[in-house]
A and B are shown apart, each in its own frame.
Chain A
Amino acid sequence: MQRRVLLGGALALTVTGLATVTGLAPSAFAQSGEIKIGEINSYSLLPAFTEPYRKGWQLAVEEVNAAGGINGKKLVVISKDDGGKPAEAQTAANELVSNENVAMLVGTFLSNIGLAVSDFAKQKKAFFLASEPLTDAITWSKGNRYTFRLRPSNYMQAAMLVEAAAKLPAKRWATIAPNYEYGQSAVAVFKKLMSEKRPDIQWVDAQWPPLGKIDAGPVVQAVAAANPDAILNVEFGADLVKLVREGETRGLFKGRQVVSFLTGEPEYLDPLKDEAPQGWIVTGYPWYSIKTPEHEAFLKAYQAKYNDYPRLGSIVGYETIKAAAAIIAKANSTDPDKMIAAAEGLSLSSPFGEITFRKIDHQSTLGAFVGKTALKDGKGVMVDSVYRKGADYLPSDAEVEKMRPKD
């Protein structure tokens, strides 16, 4: 009666404890008066992005319920953290679907987590609206009928940037991108589309620092040594800060055009403060200069509630819940097949104007702003920005059908 008894006792205790903790049986059936949506995101790993995102969706939930809910039923969102790990996101998805009986899953930020949840959704036949992941695979090469995606994809953002970049006189191009799937595919799509439009350009250097660990000095020197006319940048976050600082000090950007993914989003531009780069062609979200009535209504409501300005994540979070509510309202059911039928081709308004979920690949036509970075009052801003509609920057239907597996 020694160690093993204790061991056995501990095992038994934990098993019973586990059973109570995780819910013996699915006890949380949706009450007849409410509709539950399960939301997953990397709150603990990426608080800088997910905090504004959460504020956005909370605002939308409030608005939906103030307007009478979804066909008279109250909307409830159950939110889970995934710690930035695909495996934990799946555990959370399983809890939401099996224990909480949510009508649909929404959310995710990182591409690999979006893909993990979309594969889970396919396996469990659950509806999934991916809000932020950028990877093209989620709607194309690894697309499935249960998954929809809100944010403009990698391909769409690349196509928007290429349109502006192709007009530049630059012929010698270098690229700097984080060495993982997103960086690699961003560069690949940009290069492909760019070379189609401008067969005369040359790719003179490519730097692939590891994600989150750029040793910026040597990278900047190496790029400068190749003497490019223009640079494509895919770095973001802390890596971007280091790149910009080293690049400015070493004069890398002097006399060179820079085209950069996502840098105009407040999430990435604002931390740079007065060191924000100037004259870069970027995609982003200039919340201060969008004067459409839809956006002004959103901005007013957001600032009134939070006393803070919105980031791009706020738009995405807000629109995710608005879209989810519209899908369930149109389907008038929480049956996945009926929701899919309702979502395909569904059009709704957004702070950026009307968007549509395409039937062919379940991608929304939400667009992005393309403009130039500048300094104003000691802060980085986007100027000359133009809204590019998502629908105009997608490949032809034939190409999409070739890439997307048949259901």
Chain B
Amino acid sequence: MAFYVVQFLTGLASAASLFLVASGLSIIFGVTRIVNFAHGAFYMLGAYVAFTLTARFSGALGFWGGILAAALIVAAVGVLVEMLLLRRIYHVPELFQLLATFGLTLMVEDLVVLGWGPNDLVGPRAAGLKGAIDFFGQQIPSYDLFLIVLGPLVLGLLWLVFQRTRWGVLVRAATQDRDMVAALGVNQKWLFTSVFALGVFLAALAGALQIPRDAVTHEMDLRVIVDVFVVVVIGGLGSITGAFVAAVLVSELNAFGILIFPKISIILVFLVMAAVLIVRPWGLLGRAEAPVRRTPGLTVNPWRPLTSRERIAVAIAFLLAASLPFYAGNYALAVGAEIAIFVIFAASLHFLMSTGGLASFGHAAYFGLGAYGTAFAVKLAGLPMAAALVAGPLFGLLGAVVFGFFAVQLSGVYFAMLTLAFAQIVWSVAFQWVGLTGGDNGILGVWPERWAASAPHFFWLSLAVAVLAVAGLRIATFSPFGFALRATRDSPLRAEAIGINGKRIQWSAFLIAGTVAGIGGALFAYLKGSVFPDVLGIPLSVDALVMVLLGGVETVSGAIVGAIVYKALSIWLVSQTEWSKLVLGAFIVLIVVAFPKGIVGTLDSLWHRRPSSLKDAMLASKIETAE
């Protein structure tokens, strides 16, 4: 019995540290609607700064003072980030801030290595709380007890601040309707800055409080960020009590789950999230979102198919690309094929995001299923290459059929998180089922047959498939189906009123996007000759998201340019420098500030400002007013 009590308390301690990070994220999201990917980076910075301070100032005051000072210092950094970067981009489509914070995260990962060196750092134990307390023969670390008290304490303090202060009332009002708060004359700028500072303070405090338990490494941010997102979503976005309940739920399920299924940890949070979202689409304590005022896919310049002159230009670009094998070496061709494959992948996500208005955070699942499907077709069924290239995408389709059905019941960030959960579940199956997938060691020897083996042939194959895929997606966008999809995106109620079955239309879009991503995955398996669980992983999903946002989510085919620029740049940077993350992150941040609508989106609106397209501009302004 004592054992179960202690296990329960241990779970509570884990919950407390999870809650501290999650509460900050939840507050920031609630008010600013920023999906703050850099929250993990602030957590990590908190730990690094606390490590330095506690090493310099010893003693109880040095330790606890160091922890607090670290959180304050990092909160100040957060204020700078908010004022210099985020303030410039509040007006751009949602999710675009995600790109900025993602760039920031990349930079911080390299910066901490530059600043603190490559080794794992182990900070001091908590002053005064080093030992353990005996509980009927079981040892409970006193630091755990401290955390168990701290969690609810922070929750209570936040509750007081939000319920009993004017600032808190404003924050709650902004969480519900920030436009209304602005209309009532509240200075939003400082409200946002202070909220961001509080959120970052909590993240940094949580990171600093980890140093007596954990090692400080440059990978801390990614270890924590996904779990924290999941906790926030389970609890209900913007609900701090919900985040607390979710943290306790997840931690306790883990603490007791491992007694029965020791392998459960890797997948547990995602299972819980998927289950919760299917039953309660807005999380445990979340409320239904207010109707969206501004859809991510809403375009000011109305979409239209290509004019004949544009078609000629595209044909010339295609011919230029297709002539690459006549003057480029094998390596350039392999890189070209990889870029073509990522064009397919990014275009499929772009279709889902811009035409469908559904931002998936787990699109790699379908890319990876395509790759694994192809590998199975070759290795287990012994199919020839042409058949395997067809079989692979069918796996992507199958995954999209199942997951899409549940996912399209939700919208917005909840949709994004459910897709993330599904992707993570597929990833952990591939990662753990060593018997079938080879686990982490992957499936080797999926090389192309002779007809496609040479670098020029494979490049042409990838390019041809990419052109077909992009053309197909464009045709779908401008087909009646595409119009129905866009109608559902822009106004679900009106679309329903004219007899469009929105969920079915969105589900179909999900299937199309999943299948096209699977085609990309199938080609990727042959390009690399092997398949590893990475192809299902979160980093790949994020890559695709970055490509789409970089190209411009409000465009018809911006993802193509986004994919080419991002992939070419990242391959080149990885080859040229070990600080590729720093450079790439800085590049992304610059792009976000300079081209807040994405590369193609910004070029597009520049073009539309010209007098020659006055008519278009007028049309656009009419539409804008109509909205």
Contacts and interface: CB of A to CB of B under 8 A. Distances in A.
Given A23-B331, A238-B219, A43 B578 contact: yes
Interface residues of B, number: 110
A94 B458 CA distance: 14
A271 B215 contact: yes
Given A91-B571, A184-B439, A209-B265, A83 B604 contact: no
A12 B440 contact: no
Contact of B330 (A11, A21, A98, A122): A98
A24 B317 contact: no
Contacts of A213: 223, 227, 265-266
A81 B438 CA distance: 25
A222 interface: yes
A309 interface: no
Contact of B441 (A10, A18, A112, A237): A112
A399 B140 CA distance: 48
Contact of B580 (A16, A25, A44, A246): A44
A20 to B, nearest CB: 9
Interface stretch (B60-68, B240-248, B253-261, B413-421): B253-261
A224 B7 CA distance: 11
B321 interface: yes
B316 A12 contact: yes
Contacts of A135: 441
Nearest to B338: A91
A238 B309 contact: no
A90 B575 CA distance: 12
A19 B336 CA distance: 9
Contact of B439 (A181, A215, A270, A271): A181
Contacts of A116: 442, 444, 528, 530, 532
A9 B143 CA distance: 60
A19 B574 contact: no
A119 B317 CA distance: 35
Contacts of B434: 181, 184
Contacts of A91: 334-335, 338, 571, 574-575
A275 B212 CA distance: 11
A249 B139 contact: yes
A14 interface: yes
A6 interface: yes
Given A11-B564, A24-B332, A271-B119, A242 B214 contact: yes
B336 A18 contact: yes
Nearest to B564: A14
B3 interface: yes
Interface string A198-231: 0000000111111011011111011011000000
Contacts of A273: 122
B574 A83 contact: yes
Contact of B332 (A1, A18, A123, A219): A18
Contacts of B578: 43-44, 81
A63 interface: no
B604 A3 contact: yes
Contact of A115 (B258, B306, B442): B442
B45 interface: no
B87 interface: no
Nearest to B571: A91
A378 interface: no
B10 interface: yes
A51 interface: yes
Interface in A73-110: 80-83, 85-88, 90-92, 94-95, 98-99
Nearest to A84: B534
Interface stretch (B150-158, B168-176, B555-563): B555-563
A119 B529 contact: yes
Contacts of B472: none
B118 interface: yes
A119 B445 contact: yes
A217 B332 contact: no
A3 B606 CA distance: 10
A251 B6 CA distance: 14
A5 B310 contact: yes
B139 A215 contact: no
A19 B332 contact: yes
Interface string A141-160: 01000000000000000000
13 contacts: A3-B310, A7-B600, A86-B442, A94-B334, A99-B329, A213-B265, A217-B141, A218-B11, A218-B258, A222-B262, A237-B120, A238-B214, A245-B212
Given A87-B532, A120-B529, 4 more contacts: A7-B313, A22-B328, A142-B441, A222-B262
